[in-house]
Amino acid sequence: MNLGQITLAVLFAGASFACKGPGAENAEPKASATTEALAAPVPNKQDNTGPIKVGILHSLSGTMAISETSLKDVALMTIESINKKGGVLGRKLEPIVVDPASNWPLFAEKSRELIQKNVAVVFGCWTSVSRKSVLPVFEELNGLLFYPVQYEGEESSRNVFYTGAAPNQQAIPAVEYLMSAAGGGAKRWVLLGTDYVYPRTTNKILRYFLKEKGVAEEDILEKYTPFGHTDYQTIVADIKKFAAAKRTAVVSTINGDSNVPFYKELGNQGLKATDVPVVAFSVGEEELRGIDTKPLQGHLAAWNYFMSIDTPENAKFIEEWKAYVKANNLPDADKRVTNDPMEATYIGIKMWAQAAEQAGTTDINAVRQAVAGQSLKAPSGFEIVMDGKNHHLHKPVYIGEIQGNGQFHIVWKTEGPVRAEPWSRYVPESKSKVADWSFPWLCGNCEAAKHQTF
């Protein structure tokens, strides 16, 4: 066999292997043929004794393991603490942890597996593509998913509760801040992201938003890089040139691993946060843990929670986490931090438990009704409410500057929690869409109510 042919084959194999990373956005979640027989909703066997099964669907291996492992840990911590207080409805919670290995079709298979094991609820997913791939499964089998990560919006499912931020709870306030005098009064915008669904959609919304605020087309520079991109020389040089004429801010939706080379290049080419501030939506305490924060100092991140929030509730949350990490001997125990998606996971589990108590059953339809309107005092110190209609949390927004110790110095925050708008009012095709799961709408994506009132 010709070596050239083999190497070509290797290249292709390698390329497709790499593309199986978060790049394979539009890969249809493969509903296997065997599922035809199971298409009918699985009867939810009411087993009123014994523990309540709860699914945890986070990647523990592969590229997303970096971020998702902590979510699994914090979920187990919350479940343990609920069990210590007697569980839910007098029954213990039994976590079932599965590892979808950062493989999007596997997310769909694993979620099917969980629902067929009769779990009462699933907490999981990180990337938007993983959520998109499990969505049809949850809708088909009438499961219940709590999704804890900020995302791009333009979605609302009857079977999903979103405990992370919608764009108007993160991206829009961050841009508004940078526009304001306090944030530097930026006139020009660089929208920089990794090439996949979350950055593309967020930037689309931001573009409409900026235009509405009177920013001209030539003052917006939109750039994308492939996954795992490490060479930011040209892009930073372009930003530098673009920023020379007017006050400029960069909105970064760069995915995890590429952030380090990007910030390093910024620092090395002499672009300081005071000249061109970069606000990132996916850089948090956990991501800062593995990197040298020197080149990042002064750059910004927008979240609904920071570990540095100074409230008694947060102190308690952090203390509980540190104790859990230590007791369970997790790796790097002394360096573990809390972050926004962890707080969102914590809130999600607590809310589900409250709702199940209130409903008096773990039946999915009953619990879903009860989750809407639940409230609890979150680590951020606010009374956080699950919206009665759109399955999203009302969340406060914080903007923090990165400090040398990997923590955030909070420079701006909203007065109180902000209601989520899953359908952005700035995007023409979605502004008249309504996400409302109460009567008479019963719809996550329509312009007219589905049901007539009686």
Partner 1 sequence: MQTIHRILIAAIFTLCMQSSMLARAQGMVEVQTVQRLGSANADDVKRAIGEIARADPGLSLPLLEAFSAGKLGIDEQATAWIQDSGVLTRATDGVPGKASGHVRTILADNQTRRHLDEAISRLRLRSPNPAIRRAASAEIAHHPEPESVDILRELIGHEPDLQAREQMRLAIAKSDIQSNDREKRLAAARVIGESGDISMREPLAALLLPGEGCERDPAVKKAIRSAVSAMEWQELKIRTLANLIYGLSLGSVLLLAALGLAITFGLMKVINMAHGEMLMLGAYSTYLSQTAFVKYAPRWLGLYLVVAVPLAFMLTAALGLLLERLVVRRLYGRPLETLLATWGLSLILIQATRTMFGAQNVTVASPEWLAGGWELMPTVVIPYSRVLVLGFTCVVVSFVWYILQRTSLGLKLRAVTQNREMAASLGINTERIDAWTFALGSGVAGLGGVALSQLGNVGPELGQQHIIDSFMVVVLGGVGNIVGSIVGAIGLGVAAKFLEPAAGAVLGKIAILVAIILFIQWRPQGLFALKGRAQES
Interface residues with partner 1 (CB under 8 A) are: 1-8, 10-11, 14-15, 18, 61, 63, 65-66, 69, 182-184, 195, 223-226, 228-231, 233-235, 237-238, 240-241, 244-245, 257, 260-261, 264-265, 267-270, 273-275, 277, 289-292, 294-295, 298, 300, 331-332, 401, 403-404, 409, 411
Question: Phi and psi for 158 in degrees, rounded to 5?
Answer: -65, -25
The phi, psi pair for 182, rounded to 5°, reads: -65, -30
Question: Among residues 59 and 163, whose Cβ is nearest to partner 1?
Answer: 59
Task: With beta carbons less than 8 A apart as the criterion, state whether 375 and 389 touch.
Answer: no
Nearer residue to partner 1 within complex by CB, 152 or 257 = 257
Q: Which residue, 180 or 438, has its beta carbon nearer to partner 1?
A: 180
Give whichever of 1 and 33 is closer to partner 1, judged by the CB atom: 1
Residue 11 and residue 94 in contact, taking contact as beta carbons nearer than 8 Å: no
End-to-end Cα spacing for the chain: 74
Three-class secondary structure of residue 248 per DSSP: strand
CB 104 within 8 A of CB 37: no
Helix then strand count (H, E) for the chain reads: 12, 16
Min separation Cβ 268 and partner 1, Å: 3
Residue 306 Cβ, how far from partner 1 at the closest point, in Å?
Answer: 14
Say which residue the tokens 């979510």 belong to.
Answer: 71
For residues 237 and 442, which CB has a smaller minimum distance to partner 1 in the complex?
237
Within 142-232, residue ranges assigned H as helices are 171-179, 197-212
* Distance of closest approach, residue 224 Cβ to partner 1, in angstroms: 5
Least separation in angstroms between CB 256 and partner 1: 9
DSSP 400: E
- One-letter amino acid identity for 28? E
Minimum separation from the CB atom of position 183 to partner 1 (A)? 7
Question: Does the bond joining 261 to the residue before it have cis omega, within 30 degrees of 0?
Answer: no
Handedness of CA 314, 316, 319, 324 (dihedral sign): negative
Report the nearest approach of partner 1 to the CB of residue 189 (Å): 15
Minimum Å distance from CB 221 to partner 1? 11
Q: Based on CB atoms, which residue is closest to partner 1, 48 or 269?
A: 269
When the beta carbons of 137 and 175 are compared against partner 1, the nearer one is: 175
